[in-house]
């Protein structure tokens, strides 16, 4: 980085010297430094399209053409303006000045600074071309050459290549509104990484258009299939005053005015392009089958340029009401106010108004907002299947057994487990309806509660304390309604209702006092009783997507149990009652008419 900063300092120093000594020395002894040092400060940049860099004279001839002193002085003026604008970080107008300076008299420092501005404007493919031109066409000191090479390496990671195959020979290739020549291309079609609209056009064939995502440093292949025109009409384009200008139809130069040719039926975008800034703004032509459509345009000075970068990248761009195509649009317009409209399926229209000054090149980024009510965003309904496993915690079963636990009695919270399998039909909006099947069990120990044992034949019971080991288990079956939202980090709210059918078990022993005052202990006995409960189980689930169609979530689920048939201790079971003979326990309920359980756990979900 220190090396880059030192090189940047030399670039500005040379610029100052160039102003004193004159631009005449610039080509033979161009200024030190590299545009890459300043461009490196750009940081992480993005781009959605760019036009090809204007070729330097060295791209076309082996030796530079003779340059007049007047051209050198004019190049110096534009270069000086560019430096001032560059210091003000006015990248777009600075670029225009440096490019004009290069057209008049190409120098190393103008080339470097053009590369700076191009990178700042995120036109990475053009910046790469400019830095490669710098190293190819000029003598560069070793230290500065190394700095420029670093920039080239970084830019190549932000630039990809489009490989067009299968097109008709001679067809014109247009990428993101920029004419890239005829098929087959004579050099690789380099573009900034991102989404691009590729259009291939040839007279007598249906235009081919597609979108392609290009990764940095990679080659994206586009296979073209061009069908011959089966339904066409004639389009005739004239300039009102008879001037000779290029006729551009749908981004492709078709000839010069007056021009007539066969094109496909439907809408076409036509503009005129002449020398300098002479031309005609885009106009709409509607061609009918078998008919001649005449479009008369007026050539005028188009002093400004506009670039529209839409998001999503393939959105349709309208300039002053004329559909100029999909994706990035770049073209000349009259100075003054213009209306830009961007449309894309599934998005709200984006409308902007831009005011262009003479000689200005404006870049307008239009990002559309999603239309959440659009059909394309509505998710299709789906079937889902999920499984839940959790452990159960309940404060108490309730009923007679738990209600008599007081004083020295102890009752730890009940513990258990639950497992559920759930299938549902989920609508696109996330609302789902399903069925669940599962198994529930929980147990609780109640020790030292007050209890009675009634000896047979006696009216008064023996009093004492009892220990109860309670357990409730059964199968669950119910219906559910739920709401699911989120993709990467899904959340589900669900409410189920159904029936638990099972049994309750109470294993009991106790210590009692007989009528004679002696203490005795009963042997453990167990009773089983049918238990039927209506349940409601609200739950919330949150987690993450494991893989495509698979989710793993944590669950917190509650079970609200309402008894349909309360389980009770069997009062016909006889146990020893010490000196009082044999007795029976009372028919106490083992679980209440209502109890609550909480079940935290985990859930795995699959969507079909």
**CATH classification number, 2-156, choose in 3.40.50.300, 1.25.40.10, 3.40.50.920, 3.40.50.150:** 1.25.40.10
239: which 2 tokens?
A: 């300039």
Biggest CA-to-CA distance, the chain = 136
Cβ of 301: how many Cβ atoms within 10 Å? 14
Residue 23 has pLDDT above 80, yes or no: no
Is pLDDT above 80 for 427?
A: yes
Looking at domain 379-607, which CATH architecture does it have? Answer: Beta Barrel (2.40)
Structure confidence by residue, pLDDT tens digits, 47-88: 333 333 333 333 343 455 578 888 889 999 999 999 999 888
CATH number, domain 159-223: 2.60.40
Name the residue with tokens 């907002």. 369
Tens of pLDDT along 230-269?
888 899 999 999 999 999 988 888 889 999 988 888 888 9
CATH 2.40.160 in the chain, residue ranges: 379-607
The pLDDT assigned to 395 comes to 93
In the chain, residues under CATH classification 2.60.40 are 159-223
Residue 90 pLDDT exceeds 90? no
pLDDT digits (tens, 9 = 90+) for 523-539: 999 999 999 999 999 99
pLDDT tens profile 302-352: 989 898 989 888 899 999 999 888 888 888 999 999 999 999 989 999 999
What pTM did the predictor assign? 0.52
Q: What integer pLDDT is reported at residue 377 of this predicted model?
A: 81
All CATH 1.25.40.10 domain ranges of the chain, comma separated, are 2-156
Q: Contact at 8 Å (CB) between 596 and 562? A: no
456-462 CB contacts, 8 Å cutoff, 24+ apart: 456/574, 456/577, 456/581, 456/582, 456/583, 456/584, 457/581, 458/515, 458/580, 458/583, 460/515, 461/583, 461/586, 462/512, 462/513, 462/514, 462/515, 462/577, 462/578, 462/580, 462/583
The conformation of residue 589, written as its DSSP 8-state character, comes to B
Give the 3-state secondary structure of residue 577.
coil
Confidence of residue 44 (pLDDT cuts 50, 70, 90): very low
């Amino acid at each position: 980085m220190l090396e880059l900063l030192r090189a940047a300092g030399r670039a500005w120093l040379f610029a100052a010297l160039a102003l004193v000594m004159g631009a005449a020395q610039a080509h033979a002894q161009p200024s030190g430094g590299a545009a890459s040092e300043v461009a490196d400060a750009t940081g992480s940049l993005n781009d959605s399209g760019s036009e090809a860099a204007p070729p330097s004279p060295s791209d076309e001839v082996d030796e530079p053409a003779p340059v007049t002193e007047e051209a050198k002085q004019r190049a110096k003026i534009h270069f000086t303006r560019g430096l001032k604008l560059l210091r003000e970080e006015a990248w777009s107008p600075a670029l225009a000045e440096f490019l004009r300076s290069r057209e008049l008299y190409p120098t190393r420092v103008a080339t470097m600074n053009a590369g700076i501005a191009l990178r700042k404007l995120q036109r990475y493919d053009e910046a790469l071309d400019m830095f490669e031109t710098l190293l190819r066409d000029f003598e560069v000191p070793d230290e500065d050459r190394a700095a420029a090479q670093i920039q080239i390496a970084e830019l190549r990671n932000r630039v990809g290549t489009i490989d067009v195959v299968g097109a008709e020979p001679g067809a014109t290739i247009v990428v993101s509104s920029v004419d890239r020549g005829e098929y087959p291309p004579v050099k690789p079609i380099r573009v900034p990484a991102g989404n691009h609209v590729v259009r291939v056009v040839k007279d007598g064939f249906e235009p081919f258009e597609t979108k392609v995502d290009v990764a940095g440093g990679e080659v994206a292949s586009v296979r073209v299939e061009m069908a011959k025109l089966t339904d066409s009409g004639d389009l005739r384009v004239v300039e009102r005053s008879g001037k000779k200008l290029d006729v551009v139809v749908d981004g492709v130069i078709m000839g010069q005015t007056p021009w007539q040719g066969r094109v496909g039926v439907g809408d076409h975008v036509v503009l005129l392009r002449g020398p300098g800034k002479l031309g005609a703004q885009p106009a709409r032509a509607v061609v009918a089958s078998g008919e001649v459509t005449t479009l008369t345009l007026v050539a005028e000075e188009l002093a400004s340029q506009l670039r529209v970068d839409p998001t999503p990248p393939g959105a349709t761009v309208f300039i002053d009401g004329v559909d100029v195509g999909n994706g990035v649009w770049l073209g000349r317009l009259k100075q003054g106010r213009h209306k830009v409209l961007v449309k894309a399926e599934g998005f709200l229209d984006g409308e902007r108004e831009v005011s262009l000054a003479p000689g200005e090149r404006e870049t307008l980024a239009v990002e559309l907002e999603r239309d959440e009510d659009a059909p394309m965003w509505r998710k299709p309904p789906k079937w889902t299947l999920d499984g839940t496993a959790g452990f159960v915690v309940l404060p108490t079963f309730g009923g007679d057994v738990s209600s008599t636990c007081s004083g020295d009695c102890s009752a730890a919270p009940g513990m258990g487990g639950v497992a559920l399998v759930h299938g549902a039909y989920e609508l696109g909006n996330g609302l789902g309806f399903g069925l669940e099947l599962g198994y529930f069990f929980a147990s609780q120990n109640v020790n030292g509660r007050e209890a009675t044992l009634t000896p047979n034949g006696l009216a008064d019971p023996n009093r004492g304390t009892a220990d109860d080991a309670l357990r409730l288990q059964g199968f669950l079956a119910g219906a559910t309604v739920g709401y699911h939202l989120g993709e990467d980090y899904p959340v589900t709210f669900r409410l189920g209702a159904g029936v638990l059918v099972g049994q309750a078990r109470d294993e009991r022993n106790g210590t009692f006092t007989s009528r004679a005052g002696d203490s005795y202990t009963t042997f453990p006995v167990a009773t089983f009783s049918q238990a039927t409960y209506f349940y409601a189980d609200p739950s919330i689930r949150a987690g993450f997507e494991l893989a495509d169609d698979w989710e793993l979530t944590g669950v917190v689920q509650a079970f609200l149990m309402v008894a349909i048939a309360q389980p009770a201790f069997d009062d016909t079971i006889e146990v020893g009652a010490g000196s009082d003979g044999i007795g029976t326990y009372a028919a106490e309920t083992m679980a209440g008419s209502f109890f609550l359980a909480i079940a935290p756990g985990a859930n795995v979900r699959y969507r079909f």
